[in-house]
Structure 1
């Protein structure tokens, strides 16, 4: 049947999230980040969010903890996974008869964030001013199918996630899997697993943002093999630890025009 449960976690707040929010607030065209997207680290708050996730993980009953961990190769996702797992180990030692045997983190590039091509590091204002024809094409095609030159559409990301899930099912047959990735990846994993339509997933994207270090759980029906979302975008573990929750939403152009 494949994996029995997916615990999907968006990475904690990153330095890029902070820079993008500041750029949009300032009315800037360019997001000031001094490294490629794959190398952007967590912010100090993002590290605290990852630790809060780890403490939540430590409090789960042993039969609800993940048997395997997969991660996007991007630094912010790997840091979230590592901090979370290390924190969970510290929180379980001496409480469960010897501690939790933490699974190794398997890195897979198919769970990376969406690539933006020529629009990378540009705010919506920057896209409109520097590539007005591309902005018009994006409005016409909508978020799901628009592929910026050199980048990916949401449909492209869904295609590589289908491939990643096939391998995950083979390797993790009968196991509960933690996947640490990105906001668009969380939504598109729901899209793929739950058999959503374009309108379904964009309807969610237009009303709610996947928060940093949030938890989404998909459970597979053993009888049918179909996935069901039982928890989405949970951040109560952050509030319990007194750690601020952050949105840092992606592209606001969620619906087809």
Structure 2
């Protein structure tokens, strides 16, 4: 199926209750970079926290690829800033800092196989066991970014360690795919209504100031989320596509973190 038809179909998926997505237990959100959780799953996290579900957030990369040439924010300082922003975003959504884990894998070089990938999958699986998770949420394997593709692979590895746990994908950079890109079968899954949580979601996205403002002004090639991209995720629903256990991805990783 072409990407344009797939995404149009995803926007028309039926609206389901949170429990229909998650099942009887808790959930883990896997974010390739600090901010992906707020963009793709901010409403999900807020709804789950409001309803008392056990939620864990695992941030895979260190996020330092967003401003690689900033004199004022060398890698360690940028990493610390992006983690602080993530914790502020989590608070806005109702999630305590103690339930957020940073794996600090190298931005733009997150592995999908090998010892580091296995360790990351172990960490995701441990978060799932800790929270009694019956569902994992991770970025769509066809998102055109190498770290998003790798994170999808890590979530599949984690699910293999957990047994019958649901796996859902949320598109982030997939909306930027060329329309004719082949992405596989038509989507199955659901939309979650999040209108009640839009103020919290906006606050969470805005907490990522290094990605949404000119906070870091000394890297001409630094990354910044465009207003149109932010607006894309300010809709009254979020999309979650069911991931088949057999799914494999073939992605051209070219989009900024």
Provide TM-score, normalisation by structure 2.
Answer: 0.31
Provide TM-score, normalisation by structure 1.
Answer: 0.31
| Structure of greater Rg | 1
